[in-house]
């Protein structure tokens, strides 16, 4: 699947939204990519997961872990295609990422599945949770890296689409200065 095909799929399912958004990272952007709108279509989700699975075809994977909520559907389908177990990491009552529902065996090889990467904050939290639980992280698979390939992790990162999508610190946001109301569609609770 080419980057152009991935972008077309995001556009055709309405997953790319335009307006004024506060991302989970706290940054503001005129573009929000809500992969859930794509993931409601199993056939298209399967195509994306197949393309991601091919990027890790030579990597042994026992478990695919995804951060809740955005990565769960993708993680499940990617695990199915890789013949692995699917788990998810979620926020606990104190807002910290935790592997609350699933045990990991020491040394299990874990691929982290992400829908959209911006700063890598949730991904880094997920990597730490997996490691604390005894897993060995073998890589991160993502649909979109909106940093344009600038994001660096300490494991292999493979994406279907990398684009530099504009973001602003809230204090420097031209959309805020223009008085445009901000939407907060992300899943991370407010600080």
Average the pLDDT over 90-109 and give the result.
92
pLDDT at residue 8 tops 70:
yes
Rounded-to-integer distance, Cα 9 and Cα 39, Å: 11
pLDDT of residue 113: 96
So where are the chain's domains?
3-177
Rounded-to-integer distance, Cα 55 and Cα 45, Å: 16
Contacts of 144 (CB under 8 A, 6+ apart): 6, 10, 33, 35, 115, 116, 117, 159, 160, 161, 162, 163
Give CA separation, 141 vs 65, 95, 114, 161, in Å.
Answer: 10, 24, 6, 11
Rounded-to-integer distance, Cα 126 and Cα 108, Å: 15
Query: Using one digit for the tens of pLDDT, what is the confidence trace for 152-176?
Result: 899 999 999 998 888 899 999 999 9
CB 155 within 8 Å of CB 60: no
Query: Using one digit for the tens of pLDDT, what is the confidence trace for 26-69?
Result: 889 999 888 999 999 999 999 999 999 999 999 999 999 999 88
pLDDT band, very low/low/confident/very high, at 186 (cuts 50, 70, 90) = low
Token pair, residue 115, equals 């829908």
Which numeric CATH code is attached to 3-177? 3.40.50.2020
Query: Using one digit for the tens of pLDDT, what is the confidence trace for 108-167?
Result: 999 999 998 888 888 999 999 999 999 999 999 999 998 878 888 999 999 999 988 888
Contacts of 190 (CB under 8 A, 6+ apart): 184
Rounded-to-integer distance, Cα 63 and Cα 110, Å: 5
pLDDT at residue 191 tops 50:
no
């Amino acid at each position: 699947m080419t980057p152009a095909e991935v972008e077309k799929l995001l556009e055709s399912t309405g997953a790319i939204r335009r307006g004024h958004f506060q991302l989970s990272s706290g940054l503001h952007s005129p573009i929000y990519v809500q992969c859930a709108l794509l993931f409601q279509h199993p056939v298209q989700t399967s195509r994306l997961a197949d393309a991601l699975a091919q990027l890790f075809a030579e990597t042994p994977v026992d478990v695919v872990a995804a951060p809740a909520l955005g990565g769960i559907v993708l993680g499940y389908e990617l695990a199915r295609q890789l013949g692995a177990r699917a788990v998810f990491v979620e926020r606990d009552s104190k807002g910290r990422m935790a592997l609350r529902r699933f045990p990991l065996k020491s040394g299990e090889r874990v691929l982290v599945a992400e829908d959209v990467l911006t700063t890598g904050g949730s991904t880094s939290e997920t990597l730490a949770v997996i490691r604390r639980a005894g897993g060995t992280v073998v890589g991160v698979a993502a649909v979109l890296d909106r940093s344009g390939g600038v994001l660096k992790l300490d494991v292999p990162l493979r994406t279907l689409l990398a684009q530099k999508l504009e973001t602003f610190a809230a204090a420097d946001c031209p959309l805020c200065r223009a008085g445009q109301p901000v939407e907060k569609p992300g899943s991370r609770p407010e600080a």
